[in-house]
Structure 1
Amino acid sequence: MSSFADDLHAALAGPDHSISPKYFYDAKGSALFEQICELPEYYPTRTEVALLQRHAAELAQRMGPQAQLIEYGAGALMKVRLLLAHLDRCHSFVPVDISGPHLLEACKALQRDFPALSITPVVADFTRDHELPPAPDGGQRIGFFPGSSIGNFTPEEALSFLRMLREELDGGALLIGADLIKEPGVLHAAYNDAAGITGRFNLNLLHHAQRELGLEFDPRGFDHYAFYEPRHHRIEMHLMPRGVQELQLQGRRYRLSPGESLHTENSHKYSVEGFQAIAREAGFDPQHCWTDDKNWFSLHWLKA
């Protein structure tokens, strides 16, 4: 039984009906997320890209020659191009992503644009143990975790994940994006776009389970629901049942009643100081932070 099946059985059995957002990302989910990144309401991508463009030369200098660049949750490999264009004699690029076909297609496109670059894709859940190619002899191992994906972890999970990365990057550094606390209306619009793409992305978790695991459910039986929870400084995404919904997975039946939900994602928002405190506790030395003019998004350089 796959971990997806295990986790979905556990989520549907309750009591809190919560599952990891990593299961959004089959090929269809990855394509939908690329559409989200282009939406006018979704500020994180364009804000982070602007920061990377503005500071790419400085970041490349910090990475140094012969760096091995490891991107976690690599996706479409668009942001990393801004760094690769400035890196001096990059040793290798190691993108790690759970969606294999999507990652391999993105690597083909990247290789065409950077023909001299050594690319070693790793198809794996980057939050769990995974094998990486050997670290370079003459350069640093640099982690790259853009897109505010660290916000999908609870603060306790983020601490554990950062500790794992500190050990993996041993002596190198981590460039990581973190979304910042801001006016709730901006957040609400970003996760409830007018075109309904985020809703389709949310529902894709069930469609992914239908394609991969044979989940039986009513595709018209759930609504996308996203809101800002101010006490925890996070967006929560849920799938809300329209009336009583019955789902069948591998011979087991589950029921979700009105007022219940399947909790599919958290997206925590940080202050710069709050995020740096977690990084320090994980064993990193926060050496620099870049933010945009509105203080909506932050990029952090953490020395391992």
Structure 2
Amino acid sequence: MTLELGFQTRSDEAFRAAVVSGLSRKQKSIPCCWLYDARGSDLFNAITRIEDYYPTRTETEIVSQNARDMANFCGEGAVLLEYGAGSGIKTEILIDALRAPRLYLPIDIAADELAQTTSRIAKRFPRLDVFPIVADFTRDFDLPPALPFSDRRW
């Protein structure tokens, strides 16, 4: 089951405020969160496939080699909350190793990428409840009230 959310969207006003603030500083900058639209996510995924870019490849290898141990540690019925879910490739490896996972909460600022990831994982693991959350996890955010433990801030 995939729960549909009214994704938190970043407004034009929030973008305008971030640009004005960033360009008003002595050292000009614009927060990188504004790069994570569909095209930005595609570019990042392409970068991760470049031979010289090793972090994603190394992390995937670590998860692959340790997925069973991680699943044993988590036990049956785990709730998996993932900050910066992105394409979810590494997470998919872990979910596959888990015993009857209960819930997957992918959190990412890139709504388009999150929607694709959510759809793919929900199709591959039809018994897993998938609850995507679009949020900037570098700041406080509230979990949606539909969750059984949404009284907690993450």
2:77 is aligned with 1:63:
no
Q: Which has the higher contact order (CA 8 A, sep 6+)?
A: 2
Residue type of the alignment partner of 1:19: I
Write the distance in 2 (CA, Å) between the matches of 1:9 and 1:134.
Answer: 39
Q: C-alpha displacement at 1:102, in angstroms?
A: 2.2
- The match for 1:4 is 15
The unaligned stretches of length 5 or more in structure 2 are 1-11
Q: Find the partner of 1:127 among 114, 121, 138.
A: 138
Q: C-alpha displacement at 1:8, in angstroms?
A: 1.3
- The match for 1:47 is 58
User: In terms of Rg, which structure is larger?
Assistant: 1
Contact 2:22 2:31 in 1 (8 A): no
Write the distance in 2 (CA, Å) between the matches of 1:28 and 1:5.
Answer: 20
Write the distance in 2 (CA, Å) between the matches of 1:34 and 1:21.
Answer: 15
Write the distance in 2 (CA, Å) between the matches of 1:72 and 1:114.
Answer: 20
Write the distance in 2 (CA, Å) between the matches of 1:60 and 1:73.
Answer: 20
Write the distance in 1 (CA, Å) between the matches of 2:97 and 2:74.
Answer: 10
Deviation sequence 1:241-279 (CA, Å, 0-9, x none)? xxxxxxxxxxxxxxxxxxxxxxxxxxxxxxxxxxxxxxx
Contact 2:71 2:99 in 1 (8 A): yes
Residues 100 and 49 (structure 1), Cα distance of their counterparts in 2 relative to 1, 3 Å cut? same
* Secondary structure of 2:130 counterpart: coil
- The match for 1:73 is 84
Write the distance in 1 (CA, Å) between the matches of 2:17 and 2:84.
Answer: 21
Q: C-alpha displacement at 1:101, in angstroms?
A: 2.3
Select the structure that is richer in helix.
2
Residue type of the alignment partner of 2:69: E
Q: How does 1:48-197 map to 2 (within 5 A)?
A: 48-132=59-143, 133-135=147-149, 168=154
Deviation sequence 1:153-201 (CA, Å, 0-9, x none)? xxxxxxxxxxxxxx73xxxxxxxxxxxxxxxxxxxxxxxxxxxxxxxxx
Contact 1:68 1:135 in 2 (8 A): no
Identity of paired residues, percent? 36
Q: C-alpha displacement at 1:135, in angstroms?
A: 3.5
- The match for 1:33 is 44
Superposition TM-score, scaled by structure 2 size: 0.82
Q: C-alpha displacement at 1:64, in angstroms?
A: 1.8
Residue type of the alignment partner of 1:134: P
* Secondary structure of 1:125 counterpart: coil
Residue type of the alignment partner of 1:122: I
Write the distance in 2 (CA, Å) between the matches of 1:26 and 1:2.
Answer: 17
Superposition TM-score, scaled by structure 1 size: 0.43
* Secondary structure of 2:107 counterpart: strand
Q: C-alpha displacement at 1:47, in angstroms?
A: 0.7
Select the structure that is richer in strand.
1
Deviation sequence 1:3-57 (CA, Å, 0-9, x none)? 3221111111221113322222111101111101100010101111111111111
Residue type of the alignment partner of 1:48: E
Contact 1:70 1:94 in 2 (8 A): yes
Write the distance in 2 (CA, Å) between the matches of 1:48 and 1:105.
Answer: 21
